[in-house]
Amino acid sequence: VADISLIVALDDSAVRLKDALSGMAAGSIAIAIGPEGDFTPAEVEAARASEYSLVSLGKRVLKSDTAGLYVLSVLNYELTR
């Protein structure tokens, strides 16, 4: 079980990744990054039901392999300061 669970989605209700990590100390993090074209609505709802928080990576839509590297960079920056 992770301390925080996040799903990266192109959803209007998603919060910025930085905001989702605000106040969090280093711990275990589960992050779901979907396929190109995003998760299906059913997948997003299943993640929400499993207590995942929706996060956004900003206005640009990244390819799935680039999104993973971006998320790791943000995590490293935000959690090691």
**Highest-confidence range of 12-26, 43-57, 64-78, by mean pLDDT?**
43-57
Name the average pLDDT for the chain: 88
Q: Give the model confidence (pLDDT) of 14-23 as tens digits.
A: 999 888 888 7
pLDDT at 26: 65
What's the predicted TM-score (pTM) here?
Answer: 0.84
Average pLDDT for 63-74: 90
Radius of gyration for the chain, computed over Cα atoms and rounded to the nearest angstrom: 12
